[in-house]
Structure 1
Amino acid sequence: MYTASLDRDRDFHFRVKDPGSAATHFIGFLAAVLMTPVLLVHASDCGADLMTMIGMSVFMLSMILLYGASTSYHSFDISEKANLRLKRMDHMMIFVLIAGSYTPVCLTVLRGSVGMRLLAIVWGLAIVGMIFKLLWVTCPKWVSSVIYIAMGWVCVLAMPQLVAGLSFGAFMWLLAGGLFYTVGGVIYAMKFPVFHNRFQYFGCHELFHVFVMAGSLCHFIVMYVYLCS
């Protein structure tokens, strides 16, 4: 029995399930953790009000949760049951990241009734999406991508207000982030053969991760450069 226990421990330790996917989003996780105090201190130095500070905090926390959950799922190969739980958490946190990215924009740019309504819509959709993933995490990838992309572009409901409330530079960075997320979602769903396992530990899924990180970076620039100033 003791020998069997040692064998199980040896199997669990040191084995990273998906090295490329784990590494990419571990970088994202570390960056989110390190840049959270940087953003919040910068916002405070710029005289940000309470709503701005709350929005920035939610945005950074959503990134930490998403990249942390993704790193955990792609790192550990514990058991079928545990892996499924980690997968659920990974997919559920995507909804949190989307809603978290909306939060500072709704609280600082839109404000008022438009901002509050849009914020309620996206967080309501996030809750529904998380319940959906809790119940059917093994749904086809294209279903997940359609849901994520559609939720990400709910902002078109407030497009006139966004254009009016953001500078040209801020709007373009915000748009670039949305486009990176969208292209990443398409890559995730389609699994283009040209990218699949082209390099060891780096294929379609890892490329999807890189696009997600690029989207997060674009939105971080919006928060740091434009919304805090």
Structure 2
Amino acid sequence: MPVAATSVRERRSYTRKEHYADAAIHILGVMFALAAGPWLLSRVSGPSVVAGVAVYCAGLFAMVVASAAYNLAPVGRAKDVLRRFDHAAIFVMIAATYTPFALNRMGYPVGGIILVTIWAAALAGIGLKLFFPHQFERVSIIFYLAMGWLILIAIRPLADALAPTGLWLLLGGGAVYTAGVAFYVIERIPYHKAIWHGFVLGAAMLHFAAVAHAFAR
């Protein structure tokens, strides 16, 4: 539930109802992560699978908590700091979603290459957001999307390793997130933040279903 303001001041004013709608989405997201993560970890086995899924669950939790903390915080200096972690957590979540599949489904050497590439990109993005938080906003959106769709270069080994349902859940999550970007960019749409965060939560749920379908027993 990534992105929002570009400084300690909101880019536009929001009504109380818009804030309540956005808060509801964030509360739902935190509740989902708190319930889904432990359940998934209890259903997987094997060192590399457990490691990959643990990284994924940690990334999911980091994203929803960072987003809730930032978007629900009152305007002020602390909100500007929280914004950095909110945006950085998106990079963590993207790389974390790749991790169980790269470790356990893509094979060697493709999985290793994808894993190193995606985490290197994530670390670069995290540094960008933590140390240059008010620059390269549009570039960051492109960076998020490019990282998300990097999966296409490994679609063949992934398609061979996953059931069709799991593959479509992964691609569907990416499509939902990508479609939601319009509601982040076009701020004049009423409730645009709540709608955007709803798309992000929907994408996260689809990706969770993909991970569960591939690894839960």
- With normalisation by structure 2, the TM-score equals 0.86
1:207 aligns with 2:195: yes
Name the structure 2 match of 1:104: 100
Secondary structure of the 1:137 match is coil
Q: Does 1:148 align with 2:144?
A: yes
Q: Which has the higher contact order (CA 8 A, sep 6+)?
A: 2
| C-alpha displacement of 1:55 | 1.1
Deviation at 1:124, TM superposition (A): 0.6
1:95 shift after superposition = 0.4
Q: Contact 1:55–1:103 at 8 Å: present in 2 too?
A: yes
* Secondary structure in 2 matching 1:153: helix
Asked if the contact 2:56/2:97 (under 8 Å) is kept, the reply is yes
Measure, in 2, the Cα distance between the counterparts of 1:225 and 1:159. 17
Unaligned runs of 5+ in 1: 1-14, 198-202
RMSD value over aligned CA atoms? 1.9
Shift of 1:141: 4.5
CA offset digits 1:56-107 (Å, max 9, x no partner): 111111111111011111122162x211100001000000010111111111
Q: Taking every aligned residue pair, what percent have the same amino acid on both sides?
A: 29
Q: Which residue of 1 aligns with 2:182?
A: 186
CA deviations on 1:144-201 (whole Å, 9 max, x unpaired) are 321111111111221111111111111111110110111122321233x4xx22xxxx
1:139 aligned counterpart, secondary structure: coil
1:104 aligned partner, one-letter code: P
**What secondary structure, in the 3-state scheme, does the structure 1 residue paired with 2:105 have?**
helix
Q: Is the 8 A contact 2:107 2:157 kept in 1?
A: no
2:102, 2:67 → 1: CA distance? 26
> Using the alignment, how far apart are the partners of 2:154 and 2:168 within structure 1?
16
CA contact (8 A) 2:184 2:193 kept: yes
In 1, the alpha carbon distance for the partners of 2:94 and 2:63 equals 10
Unpaired segments ≥5 residues, structure 2: 1-15
Aligned residues: 201
Equivalent residue, structure 2, for 1:8: none
For the residues of structure 2 that align with 1:137 and 1:153, how far apart are their CA atoms? 24
Matches within 5 A, 1:1-229: 18-43=19-44, 48-77=45-74, 79=76, 81-139=77-135, 141-191=137-187, 193=188, 196-197=189-190, 203-229=191-217
In structure 1, distance between residues paired with 2:96 and 2:23: 22
Distance in 2, Cα, partners of 1:111 & 1:20: 43
**Structure number with bigger Rg:** 1
Distance in 2 of aligned mates of 1:141 and 1:188: 12
Report the Cα distance in structure 2 between the residues aligned to 1:187 and 1:170, rounded to whole angstroms.
27
Verify the 8 A CA contact 1:149 1:185 in the aligned structure 2: no
Deviation at 1:27? 1.2
Q: How does the TM-score come out when normalised to structure 1? A: 0.82
After TM superposition, the runs of 4+ consecutive aligned structure 1 residues lying more than 6 A away are none
Structure 2 CA distance for aligned equivalents of residues 108 and 190 of structure 1: 39
